[in-house]
Amino acid sequence: MDWLLWIAYFVLIALALAQSLVLTLQTWEHRRYVRSSMGYLQCRRFARAGHVAVFAPCKGHDVDLEANLSAVMRQEYDDYDVTFIVESEQDPACATIRRVMAAHGAVPSRLLVAGIAEGTGQKVHNLRMATTEIPPQVEFLAFIDSDAAPRPKWLRQLTTQLIEEDEAAVTGYRWFVPVRNSLANHLLYGVNCGVMSLLGHRSHYLIWGGSWGISREVFDRINLRAAWQGTLSDDLMASRTLRDMKLPVRFEPASVVASPLDYSAREMFAFIRRQYLVTRFYMPDWWAFAVAVTGFSKMVWLGNLLALAAGALWGTPPLWLPLCVCAVLYLLGVFRGRLRQGLVRVYFPEKQQSMRAAGRFDIWAAPAVGLLNWLGVLGSLFGRHVDWRGIRYRLYPGGKIREMHRQDQPPPCGGDEDSPRQTLKIKPQQAVPYRKAG
């Protein structure tokens, strides 16, 4: 019987090492692709594109909101307009938006009040209202979150890839920039870096809603506005729709945006759980993959720690064996962290100093980062409620929303605070004309 246990042990170790090696190779490929793409960006000539409509949904007062929105208005692109969308005129973001619009009067812009969402996520509702009637001159649509700071060439790079590479959609991703050095911020920074390193030339149909673009023709052809109806996640719904139609999505490193990060421990864990929980309803295959990969990795770590304890107490297995396994897995994790953090000087050379502490944590505390990520995955196994920007949603199969509970007071930036709630009855959506406001 003992020899069967030994065989099982060595098989599991071999699989764990193989998994870690595959992740390391993927991280290496991610770094290679990013460095080559960003290097090419410095010397390329951009294709002439058409008119772009940029949509920036806003709520509350995000960290660096004015600087982020100003970056959207300072794009090195001659033919675009910006629509800022809020749910009500009482939103604290309105004053900042009007100030930014006044300071950059050369760029056509407007503030659209979309109204309170009923039966749809508030961000999705904002986007649906903003895209109700798209002007005929618009050839491309671009979407940017209010907590993201795009580069000056962000818009030009999106449209060029859509034209030259004939992609259905082009997506970036977030790179968190901790506002302060704290354990919660460093942990979430590491988790986000690990997820981002899984992206390569192809994003496997995955879109991140904070920085992406799509051609007008594809947007109309897949009827994305109708697909958004009654859903919570704008990006995962877009991902699922494009995947179902087998339309290619490209990950573009130049579209990666800096996003300020300042979370408490509670907010940090709620954020991670929410990401996986929403994925469970919209992309269940990717969620199952995350459950399997993170679960297996942590079980191997736990098994070897137990083997160390058994070896110390009873002399079997020999201590050197689990020690070597843990050391190899740890060193591979350190190597992946070094590969990831070496990209800071490529993505954001001006922010190297401010992210140095978080980068060191990502490199040397990889087991802690992986454990947090696994706990977030485990948390997504149960429940169907999602707290997002002061609203609690109840998700049903397919990602449809049937219940919403709006909190009386909006949460602080990045948080989802518990407070008394008012239940909203679900009614059919009423489209409103595309219009200027403010």
Query: From CA 107, how far away is CA 331, in angstroms rounded?
Result: 50
CATH number of 28-264: 3.90.550.10
- Mean pLDDT on 242-248: 92
How many other CB atoms are there within 10 angstroms of residue 217's CB atom?
11
Integer CA distances (angstroms), 278 to 143, 193, 213, 287, 393, in order:
20, 19, 22, 9, 11
- The sign one gets for the Cα dihedral 240, 245, 248, 252 is negative
Per-residue pLDDT band for 417 (boundaries 50, 70, 90) equals: very low
> d(Cα 385, Cα 392) in Å, to the nearest integer?
7
Tell me, what DSSP letter sits at residue 394?
E
Pairing of strands 51-57, 138-144: parallel
Query: Cα–Cα distance between 96 and 93 in angstroms, integer?
Result: 5
Residues 323-369 have pLDDT tens digits of: 999 999 999 999 999 999 999 999 999 999 989 999 999 999 999 99
Q: Is the peptide bond before 57 cis (omega within 30 degrees of 0)?
A: no
pLDDT digits (tens, 9 = 90+) for 370-415: 999 999 999 999 999 999 888 899 999 889 997 778 764 443 333 3
- The first and second tokens of residue 329, run together, are 């897995």
Residue 174: partners with Cβ closer than 8 Å, 6 or more residues away: 148, 192, 196, 208, 210, 211, 256, 257, 258, 259
On whether the CB atoms of residues 57 and 146 are closer than 8 A, the answer is yes
For the cut 90, the answer to whether the pLDDT of residue 244 exceeds it is yes
Q: Which two tokens stand for residue 178?
A: 């901790």
Segments making up each domain of the chain, as ranges: 28-264
The residue assigned the tokens 């870096």 is: 193
Range in 112-121, 192-201, 415-424 with the lowest mean pLDDT = 415-424
pLDDT given for residue 402 in this prediction: 77
